[in-house]
Amino acid sequence: LEEEDFRGETFKEWTCNVKGNNDMLSISQPHIIRGIYTEYLEVGGSSLIGTNTFSSTRIAMADYEMEDYVYELNYAGARLAREACDEVTAKDPSRPRFVVGALGPTNRTASISPSVEDPSARNVTFDELVETYFEQTVALVDGGADILMVETIFDTLNSKAALYAIGEYLECSGLDIPIFVSGTLVDQSGRTLSGQTGEAFYASIRHSKPMCVGLNCALGASHMAPFVERLSKCVECFMHVYSNAGLPNAMGGYDETPNDMALSNEVFFKNGWLNMVGGCCGSTPLHIAAIREVAKKYKPRKLPDIGRPKMWLSGLEDLVVDDVHNHLGLPFLNVGERCNISGSIKFKKLMMAGDYGSAMDIAKAQVEDGAHVIDINVDDGLLDGLAAMQKFVKIAVTEPEVAKVPFMLDASKFEIVMAGLKWCQGKPIVNSISLKVGEELFKEHATLLKKHGAAVVVMAFDEEGQAATENEKVRICKRSYDILVNEVRFPPEDIVFDPNVLTIGTGMEEHADYAVDFINATKRIKELCPYVKISGGISNLSFGFRGVTKIRESTHAVFLQHCILESGMDVGIVNANEMLALSEVDPEVLVACENLVFNRTPDATDVMLELTKKEKDMMEARKKGGVVEVKESSWRDLGASKRLEHALINGISQYVDQDVEEARHLVGKPLEVIEGPLMDGMNIVGDLFGSGKMFLPQVIKSARVMKKAVAYLLPFMDEEKKSNLIAQGIDPNSVDDSDDSNYAGKVLMATVKGDVHDIGKNIVSVVLGCNNYKVYDIGVMVPCEKILEKALEYNVDIIGLSGLITPSLDEMVVVAKQMSKAGFKIPLLIGGATTSKMHTAVKIAPNYFTDIHPVVHVLDASRAVTVVQSLLSEANKAEFIQDLSEEYEEMREDYYAGLEDRYFLTHEQAKQRSFKIDFDAVPPAPSPNRIGITVVDYVKIEDVIKFIDWNPFFQAWELRGRYPNRGYPKIFNDEAVGNEAKKLFDDAQELVQTIIKEKSMWLAGVVGLFPANRSCDGEDVHVYTDEEARVAGSPLATFCMLRQQAEKESDDPYFSQADFIAPSGYKDHMGMFAVSCFGCEGLVTKFESENDDYNKIMSQALADRFVEAFAEYLHRQIRTDLWGYAKGEQLDEADLLKIKYDGVRPAPGYPSQPDHTEKVTMWETIKCKELAGIILSDSLSMMPAASVSALVFAHPQSQYFAVGQIGKDQVTSYAARKKYDLDKMERWLSPILSYERD
Residue 1012: exposed, middle, or buried by beta-carbon count in 10 A (0-12, 13-18, 19+)?
A: buried
Q: HSE (CB half, 13 Å, CA atoms) of 970?
A: 17
Q: Are 1045 and 1054 in contact (CB under 8 A)?
A: yes
Spatial distance between the Cα atoms of 1024 and 1001, rounded to a whole number of angstroms:
35
The letter for the amino acid at 567 is S
> How many C-beta neighbours within 10 Å does residue 489 have?
11
Residue at 870: amino acid letter:
S
DSSP code of 24?
A: G
DSSP per-residue string spanning 1031-1068: HHT--SEEEE--B--B--SSS--B-BGGGGS-BTTS-E
What span, in angstroms and rounded, lies between the C-alpha atoms of 1063 and 1044? 19
CA distance to 545, 677, 704, per residue, from 683 (Å) = 20, 10, 15
| SS3 state of residue 345 | helix
What is the separation of C-alpha 688 from the centre of its chain, rounded to a whole number of angstroms? 30
| Residue 733 CB-density burial (10 A; 0-12 exposed, 13-18 middle, 19+ buried) | exposed
Judge whether 497 and 476 are in contact, CB under 8 Å: no
Report the relative pairing of strands 1037-1040 and 773-777 from DSSP bridges: unpaired
Which candidate, 328, 391, 224, places its Cα nearest to that of 581?
Answer: 328
Q: Which residues are catalytic?
A: 755, 757, 808
Is the sign of the CA dihedral 823, 829, 833, 835 positive or negative? positive
Distance of alpha carbon 1139 from alpha carbon 1073, whole angstroms: 18
Q: d(Cα 1038, Cα 1158) in Å, to the nearest integer?
A: 10
Q: Compute how many other C-beta atoms are within 10 angstroms of the C-beta atom of residue 524.
A: 17
* Phi, psi (rounded to 5 degrees) for 800: -120, 125
Residue 378 · residue 411 · CB < 8 Å: yes
Query: DSSP secondary structure string, 313-335?
Result: EESSSEEEGGG---TTS-S-EEE
- Cis omega before residue 432 (within 30°)? yes
Cα-based angle 670, 673, 674 (whole degrees, multiple of 5): 100
CB 754 within 8 A of CB 807: yes
Cis peptide before 969 (omega within 30 of 0): yes
Alpha-carbon gap, residue 856 to 143, rounded angstroms? 66
Element (H, E) at 565: none
Closest CA relative to residue 1055, chosen from 1046, 1067, 1066:
1046
